[in-house]
A and B are shown apart, each in its own frame.
Chain A
Amino acid sequence: SAVISQKPSRDICQRGTSLTIQCQVDSQVTMMFWYRQQPGQSLTLIATANQGSEATYESGFVIDKFPISRPNLTFSTLTVSNMSPEDSSIYLCSVHREDNEAFFGQGTRLTVV
């Protein structure tokens, strides 16, 4: 298993500002994943973060809005930029084992006002 620490656990932010979410894993992993869970909806993959290369974004998500850093094999950050109320969601960091069993952080509950 993997232990994932994610912070902040929640935040309330003003529109137009940016928030950086941190994800720390207790073991080295090649790929880290960032998901969004909008209120009442399922999880949607935002991007895959590989160490040493640019993140790969899913359709509908762009680097300017959700810049990601992956400085080493145990850490990643996701920034939600120029926030609007539509960005209010839970953001989840995840790592996968070889068989794709996923481990998730506790999530960051973001409210944009």
Chain B
Amino acid sequence: AQSVAQPEDQVNVAEGNPLTVKCTYSVSGNPYLFWYVQYPNRGLQFLLKYITGDNLVKGSYGFEAEFNKSQTSFHLKKPSALVSDSALYFCGVTGANNLFFGTGTRLTVIP
């Protein structure tokens, strides 16, 4: 069965510092992995995805994620955090015709 885990409920980072939001996955077969962001009072927005190819995937708003097969991880990263990055982040993995989401990580960027 497909599943993802986001071990941190909350991540705090100072503005301008690099940020990492962690995600590990468990799948049978090759994984399709995603990151979504949810800003307050708004729907989910797609950030980036890994299907195949380069392990480092670049997405929207300067975010990137690194697929690590040996560690079954797909951590979300950004070199320099902005206050506007404060939001709820969800990692997702595909199942049969649907997506399984992690429990979410609330990122707070401190000015």
Q: Would you call A45 an interface residue if the criterion is a C-beta within 8 Å of the partner chain's C-beta atoms? A: yes
Tell me whether A48 and B98 are in contact in the complex, defined as CB-CB below 8 angstroms, given that A41-B103, A42-B103, A100-B32 are known contacts: yes
* Closest-CB distance, B93 to chain A (whole angstroms): 9
How many residues belonging to B are interface residues under a CB distance threshold of 8 Å?
20
Q: Assign chain A's interface to a size class.
A: 20 to 34
Number of A-B contacts (CB under 8 A): 50
Inter-subunit contact B97/A48 (CB<8 Å): yes
* Closest-CB distance, B64 to chain A (whole angstroms): 17
Inter-subunit contact A102/B46 (CB<8 Å): yes
Inter-subunit contact B49/A96 (CB<8 Å): no
Inter-subunit contact A92/B101 (CB<8 Å): no
Interface string of B45-68 (1 = CB under 8 A from A): 110010100000000000000000
Chain A residues near B92 (CB-CB < 8 A): 102
Q: Name the CB-closest residue of B to A45.
A: B98
A103 CA to B99 CA in the complex, in Å? Answer: 11
Inter-subunit contact B94/A100 (CB<8 Å): yes
Interface string of A1-30 (1 = CB under 8 A from B): 000001000000000000000000000000
A-B contact pairs, 7 of them (CB 8 A): A33-B98, A96-B99, A100-B99, A102-B44, A102-B46, A105-B43, A107-B43
Which residues of A pack against B, CB within 8 Å? Answer: 6, 31, 33, 41-43, 45, 48, 92, 94, 96, 99-107
